[in-house]
Amino acid sequence: MKHLFAILALVAAAHTALAQTRPVADMAKFENQLKTTAEKLKSIESDFTQVKHLDMFDEDVTSKGRFYYLKDNKISLDYSKPLSYLIVINGGRLKIVADGKKSVMQLNINKMMNEMQDMITACMVGDLSRMNNNYELTYQEDDRQYIVSITPRSKTVKEYVSAIEIRLSKADMSVDQLRMYENEADYTDYRFTNKRFNQITDESRFKID
């Protein structure tokens, strides 16, 4: 039995070592891969799982749906579980459909909301070229992913998002996971799976009227 525990301890230690992050060893390679991917990327379609963690509650709230992105600045989050809910961003406009009721908001007339929209779009598709001097970025990696931590410098933006962590797959430089912190304890986590690239031909799902 002691030998079994010793083996299990070694296996656990090995997994921990593999999961450890380190500073990105070759930033030039990383930036070149990211730029090349962004230039080729026209659209993304994937499943997503959203986990909302609020420190004041015992349980997280999990939602599922489909994510769609079409270059430039067109995003659709189509929630199917536990409730049907739709969010569409198209340029400077935002549409929300909940309980059969639709609301439309102009984002580009509000500087702060416009900046938030650009930031969220950039993070969801991994286009870090949109990140300007208003954000501080740090870069880490492990064996499978690049991990980019983003901290807004603007106090106004920090009232909504205090920090963001993006995990990019080394296999195709797409976003595997996006975590947005409202504060030190509360965050919203998105995980993207079953991704398909450059296959969206119908733009109707991004229509806002």
- Residue 115's pLDDT is 78
> Among candidates 116, 128, 137, which has minimal Cα distance to 175?
128
Q: Which domains does the chain have, with CATH numbers?
A: 22-206 (2.50.20.10)
pLDDT of residue 124: 86
Per-residue model confidence (pLDDT) at position 131: 79
State yes or no: pLDDT of 195 exceeds 60: yes
If we measure between CA atoms, which residue out of 56, 81, 77, 57 comes closest to residue 67?
Answer: 77
pLDDT at 14: 42
The answer to whether residue 3 scores a pLDDT higher than 50 is no
Closest residue by Cα to residue 44 from 192, 207, 208: 192
pLDDT per position as a tens digit, 74-119: 999 999 999 999 999 998 899 999 988 999 988 877 777 777 778 8
pTM over 0.75, yes/no: yes
- The closest alpha carbon to 85, from 68, 105, 64, belongs to 64
Q: What is the pLDDT of residues 140-172, one digit of tens each?
A: 999 999 999 999 888 888 888 999 999 999 999
User: Residue 205: is its pLDDT beyond 90?
Assistant: yes
The pLDDT assigned to 16 comes to: 41
